Amino acid sequence: MKKNDIQHKVLERFLKYISIDTASDPESSNQPSTNKQLDLSRILVDELIEMGVKEVALDEFGYVMASIPSNIDEHTSIPKIGFIAHVDTAPDASGKNVVPKIIENYTGDDIIINDSTILKPSEFPELSKYIGNTIITASGDTLLGADDKAGVAEIMTAVEYIMKNPDFKHGEIKIGFTPDEEIGRGVDKFDVKKFGADYAYTLDGGEIGELEYENFNAAYAKITIQGRNIHPGYAKDKMVNAIILASEFNALLPVEQRPEFTQDYEGFYHIIKFDGTVDLSTIQYIIRDHCKDKFQEKKSLIEESITYMNKKYGHGTFSLEMKDQYYNMREMVEPHYHIVEIAQKAMEMADIKPKIKPIRGGTDGSRLSYMGLPCPNIFAGGHNFHGRYEYIPLESMTKATEVILNITQLYCK
């Protein structure tokens, strides 16, 4: 396998992987949350074994782990480096029966995915960066699945290159594929000690060049509002409409701290679900901020608002379930900042200008960093994740594969 074969191989794998529905399910208490994720995991195990990777395993929780021994003098001390991606896709949009569309030599015009879904450079200006590239979208009825099957395909293609080129020098390499990242449970049962890496990288970022070692602190809040339903003809001074109260609660939160009004390091409150009747309503939020103090302030405002509404409408009208989900990995990665610098150098070697920026989200790497495995995040190449407008340039996937190989070599120097 030569380097000019990488583009063909990564495309072939990506198209194969996105054809498998692997959506995770936040309502399931199982791990993995959906058995269909294992359909892809088993394929990855078979492919790794076919490539000649010896230590390959799929465990009961849906984790695929593999190890490639060092081919450098055993007396040379080289860190063990891991590469990780997740097999599940977000439940926000269907991942079933994905039909890819491939636009070769993109001209910069609107991309008509279907009659109701059009990628317009006027709305998505980053498209202009990819004139001349091959753009891959879905059919407009599903998401594409580049988050994170692009990362999976890039890692697998790098593994194939390493296995077919014995002269390519490398230390011990660890490969991991996780389930349920999209529902915040990707590493709930991940055995860091068993994985055996000193440092790792997730291939789960966005556009080409992204390199991230900061992410949101994250919490989830579910608020239940108990109303009182009375026949509307006789409701005066008796009815308590839980739908109205839910709307009033939402209005207490700062409008300017909604996702659609924030960027960079700015945090937010994001209402993600509402279920309601007059008698009983629930609202769900995700709460995000890079700054730990501001994160605590946001959670405190939720609690104070609950107290205020209960004083106004009666004790027990509002109840709150709130829990932290993950934390900013910066605190865990900065003491090992050389792993960021190596990724930066690996991108420059591939003629990519690194874009070191905070993640406006989270990755498996954020939690792994707190579990003792410092784990920055590298671009996988896609845009507009989790919906019908998702797309990825093929050339970005090819470059991500090159970056993996470059990182591997840099640790040998």
Contact 358, 378 (CB under 8 A): no
Q: List the one residue out of 209, 137, 135, 161 whose CA is nearest residue 394.
A: 135
Helix (H) or strand (E) holding 222: strand 217-226
The amino acid sitting at 176 is G
Residue 396 to residue 97: CA distance in whole angstroms? 24
User: How many Å from the N-terminal Cα to the C-terminal Cα in the chain?
Assistant: 24
The phi, psi pair for 20, rounded to 5°, reads: -105, 125
88 is catalytic: yes
User: Which one is catalytic: 88, 154, 214, 390?
Assistant: 88
Which residues, in sequence order, are bridge partners of residue 199?
A: 81
User: Which one is catalytic: 147, 172, 180, 181?
Assistant: 181
181 is catalytic: yes
Contact 375, 343 (CB under 8 A): no
Q: Whose structure tokens read 């498209």?
A: 127
Residue 262 to residue 96: CA distance in whole angstroms? 32
Helix (H) or strand (E) holding 312: helix 292-313
Q: If 0-12 CB within 10 Å is exposed, 13-18 middle and 19+ buried, where does residue 236 land?
A: exposed
Q: How far is CA 167 from CA 70, 71, 293, in A?
A: 12, 9, 50
DSSP 147: H
Contact 344, 376 (CB under 8 A): no
Q: Is the bond preceding 148 in cis, omega lying within 30 degrees of 0?
A: yes
Residues designated catalytic = 88, 181
